[in-house]
Amino acid sequence: MNDTIRYVLDEFDLPRAWYNLVSDMPQPPHPPVNPWTGKPLEPTELEALFPRAVIEQEISTEREIPIPDPVRNLYKQWRPSPLYRARRLEQMLDTPARIYYKYEGDSPAGSHKPNTAIPQAFYSKQQGAKRIATETGAGQWGSALAVAGSMLDLEIEVFMVKVSFEQKPYRRAFMESYGATCIASPSEMTEAGRKVLSDDPECRGSLGIAISEAVERTLDSGETNYALGSVLNHVLLHQTVVGQEALKQFDIAGDYPDILIACTGGGSNFGGIVFPFLGRQLRGGEAVKIIAAEPLNCPTLTKGKYAYDFGDTAHLTPLIKMHTLGSGFIPPGFHAGGLRYHGMAPLVSQCTDMGYVEPRAYSQSACFEAGLRFARTEGILPAPEANHAVVAVFEEANRCKLEGVSRAILFNLCGHGHFDMPAYMDYFSGKLHDQQYNEEDLGLALAGLPTVSI
């Protein structure tokens, strides 16, 4: 029996800077656009929401952005995270592939999200904020920010989509355990929420409404910042600790990935593991094949359009150039809440548009099946989001077998599934159907994209 190898780093190997892919991109990013003026957004327009340090990171072109010592010290609670060589899995798949995975499930919130929650909370605190307001859909982001808030002594207010608030009481209890306040959205607490409730008292909420409420709270309550868990450049930047550690661990393993795989929802997990390797390639280093694994039910990169669109359904955000299914697109119900987003991080979209990334979409039943095979072989039960990466790994490992070639495959196991048992229960009970999105709805959503000419 070939057994799993765990590559462990000590605290001295924790990166001292985040890596900014923008510095190595052959073309600059497309700027966000103010929907009212049709002109590129001025960074100062964001100051009502985000701390200045975060805005600077959002537009920075520096290659390395130093990680403040207090953030590095808090990272050390669980970082560096382990890299595994999955030799048991290789044997089960009977593949010549060398399969590696980076594991982010040992964080206090059980996912990669604290990598950005902590610096965002730090910069808010540093600038004198007392509170951060945010929204959460499935609950991963709210959980991570709750942990960060408790570590940095900031109040956290989480507007949680009402349907999740009701269906996922454990997620809510987890946030409350860290002292966060969790509010079912739409709520009576904001003008936006009250308006929705007066139109429809039974409204179960949406991420769009929750964003509106969190933004309104931020603007109205003073000493309050807003924080986002994915999509934006600075969020992906913070996640690059993952890929940078993996680079060091590959040095120790004496290997280098031929293929990089990550699941994509808003893009932060993907950017975190991929960008440090892609940057090396862009600087003339080793080339890697990069695969973005997304759900067939919300196929942003495989079926979306690369265009300017709103980041939210309520059209409160700036317009950003990204792969999008249209902000009006509502994916059919499926169990990877972190991947239910109509858009994509602009940087991930740009990389895909330039041909650096091969996107692939997978059905959710294939993902659950792969995730369970992974759990029964490697021991760790993945979050449903991570299962999308696992099924892509199986596909590539099988290709290695068919071609008789040994390639090194690295993927990010972005979180454990301990909070996701209802999803696995639905899979076991056969309740989980691979409902296809409606082509006509997608066509309509895409037809409704705003016109931007800059």
Judged by the rule CB under 8 A, the positions of this chain that interact with a second copy are 1, 3-6, 8-11, 70, 73-74, 76-78, 88, 106, 108, 110, 147, 150-151, 169-170, 173-174, 176-179, 372, 375-381, 417-419, 421-422, 424-425, 428
162 or 323: whose CB is closer to a second copy? 162
**Strand ranges in 96-235 using DSSP code E only, listed in sequence order:** 98-103, 131-136, 155-161, 181-185, 224-226
Identify whether the C-beta of residue 102 lies closer than 8 Å to the C-beta of residue 242: yes
Phi/psi of residue 3, nearest 5 degrees: -105, 155
Residue 402 parent element (H or E): helix 384-403
Identify whether the C-beta of residue 342 lies closer than 8 Å to the C-beta of residue 298: yes
76 or 283: whose CB is closer to a second copy? 76
Residue 444 parent element (H or E): helix 439-447
30 or 88: whose CB is closer to a second copy? 88
Q: Quote the DSSP letter at residue 355.
A: T
Kindly state the smallest distance separating residue 142's Cβ from a second copy, in Å.
Answer: 14
Q: Which residues contact 372 (CB under 8 A, 6 or more apart)?
A: 424
106 or 358: whose CB is closer to a second copy? 106
Kindly state the smallest distance separating residue 189's Cβ from a second copy, in Å.
Answer: 20
77 or 436: whose CB is closer to a second copy? 77
Kindly state the smallest distance separating residue 323's Cβ from a second copy, in Å.
Answer: 33
184 or 236: whose CB is closer to a second copy? 184
405 or 421: whose CB is closer to a second copy? 421
Q: How far apart are CA 171 and CA 420, in angstroms?
A: 10
Kindly state the smallest distance separating residue 262's Cβ from a second copy, in Å.
Answer: 22
Q: Is 182 helix (H, G, I), strand (E, B) or coil?
A: strand
**Token digits of residue 236:** 């992906």
Kindly state the smallest distance separating residue 391's Cβ from a second copy, in Å.
Answer: 16
173 or 287: whose CB is closer to a second copy? 173
Identify whether the C-beta of residue 129 lies closer than 8 Å to the C-beta of residue 221: no
Q: How far apart are CA 19 and CA 344, in angstroms?
A: 20
Tokens 């355990």 -> residue:
177
Identify whether the C-beta of residue 140 lies closer than 8 Å to the C-beta of residue 415: yes
Kindly state the smallest distance separating residue 417's Cβ from a second copy, in Å.
Answer: 8
Kindly state the smallest distance separating residue 375's Cβ from a second copy, in Å.
Answer: 6
Q: How far apart are CA 343 and CA 339, in angstroms?
A: 10
Q: How far apart are CA 195 and CA 65, in angstroms?
A: 42
Kindly state the smallest distance separating residue 329's Cβ from a second copy, in Å.
Answer: 31
